[in-house]
Structure 1
C-alpha cells in the first residue's frame, strides 16, 4: 500500500523531517530548482502539507485538489487561511499546549527585563561605565502592579499564574468572559485604563490587526508597560513608537514585530524598549515537542481518520468526519 504524500514547502524542524520521512512520501519543495513544476507534476498526489511559516491561501490550496490536512508548526497560524481551507474541506492543525510554559516563562522574563531595565544595566557594565558611576535607579518596579492580559487562553493562563507568584494582580479581556477568578473587562480600552502592565497573548490575523492602537496606549498611561509575546501585527507599531518617544507609556518589551525579521527603526533607537528576536518558544526541547506534534497530527489523521489538535475553523469538518 502506498504511503500518503506530504508536502513540505520550506525547511522544518529536524523532528518533522525525520518523522515525516519515516511515515510518508515526502516532497521537500524548497530543495527543488523548479518548485512550480514539482507542484504541477505532483499536485494530485499531495494529501497533506506540513508548514512552519509558508503562506497558504486559497490560491495555494486550489493548486492541490487532493489536499486533506495542513499541519502547522506553532500555535499561531495567521499565515494560513484556515477559513479558506475549511471551505475546501481541508483541516488545519496547530501545536498548542507543548509550548505554553516556555512562552509564559519568556513573557515574565521580558517583563522583568523591561521593568527593571536589565539589558540596559548589563550594557552599562560591559561598556565599563560602572567604574565611573552606578547605573541609575529605575523608575519601574513590579510591586503593586496589575497585569491586564489580552487573550486569556492556555498561554495567558500560564502567564497569569506566574504573575500571581510575583504578587501582581491579574485582569483580562477576551471576546467572552471565562470562569476564572480574574477580573474581566468587556473592552480593551477599559482593561488598559485599569492596569499598568498590558500583556498581549492573542492570535494575529485580520481580526486583531492593530487592536492595540494609540487609544489603547494612551489609556495604559505614563506608568504603563506593554509586553507582546503574541504577534507583532496586533500592535500599531507607528503608534507604539510615538507613545514610547513621548512617554505616553513608560516602556515596552517585544518578542514579535509587524514585519519580522525587519524591526521598525524607531524601536531600535529607543532606550525604553527591550527587543527580542521572536524567541518565545525557542528552546530545543520545546521546538522538538512542537515538531513531534506536527508529525503526530499527520500520523493520527492518516491512521485513525482524525487529527489531534485542529484549529477552531476546522471544528465542523472534524465533527463530520466518519466515526
Structure 2
C-alpha cells in the first residue's frame, strides 16, 4: 500500500512538472542546478515510478530548455562585459569580445554594438571627412543597417541608426543632410517606441527639433526645394523632450543639460534658469576627460561669455 501511494505521488509530481514546464519554460529556474533536477526526477524515486517511459522525454525536454536558457544567460553576460568595455573606452577589446561569437554577423545585438563602437572611435579623430574617416563611418552605417534587417523592432539599433546616419549626412554636405532629415527623425521616433525608458532617445529627438528650428537661410531654401517646406519642428517641442529625458534619468547626459539652457535662451525665456544650468555644467565637468562632458564644458563656457555672465573658476 505504501509503495502504491508513493508511486502515485511521484507520477503526479512528474505529470504536473511536465505541464508547468511546457507552459512556461522559465519555471526551470526554480531548480538551482540541472543535477538537482535529475535527482528530483530519478535518483530519489527508488524505482517507484510506474511510467518509466515518461522519464526520458521529460528529462530530454528539461535539458533542452535548460541549455537554451543557459545559452541566453551566457550571451547576456557577454553583452554586459562588452558594454562595460565600451564605457571604459576599451574599444579594441570590446570588438574582439563581440566577434568571439561565432554567429556575430547574424546577431542584431552584436551588430548594433559594433556599429556604435566604430562610430564612437571617430569622435577621437581629427581627420573628419578624410577617406579613412569615411571608410570607418560607412562600415558603421552598414552594420547598423544590417542590425535593423535582422530585427527592425530594436530600440538601440534605431537610436544608433539615427546618430550614425546624421553624422554620415552631415559629412556629405547640407543637401544630403536635409534630404535625410525625415529618415533620421523616423529612426528617433522608432527608438522612443521600442525603448521608451531610454532618456537618450528623447534627447536626440529634442536636438532634431532644435536643429530644424535653427536652420540658416540657405538650409531653409534647400528644404523648400526638397520637401516644399521645412519639416515641422519647434523650440517648444525640443524643450519638452529635453525635460522629459531629465525626468526619466536626471543628469544622465551633460549635453542634454546644455540643450535645455540653449533652448531656454532661444525662446528668450527664463534666462536665470539657463544661466544656472550653464554654470552647473562648468563646475561639474571642468577637467573631464570624457568626450561629451569636455564638449559640454567648452560650450557652456562659450555661452556664458556670450550672454555676459561670469564663468565659474
Class of the TM-score when normalised by the shorter of the 2 chains: under 0.3
Larger Rg: 2
Q: TM-score, normalised by structure 2?
A: 0.25
- Greater RCO structure (CA 8 Å; 6+ sep): 1
Higher helix proportion (structure 1 or 2): 2
Higher strand proportion (structure 1 or 2): 1
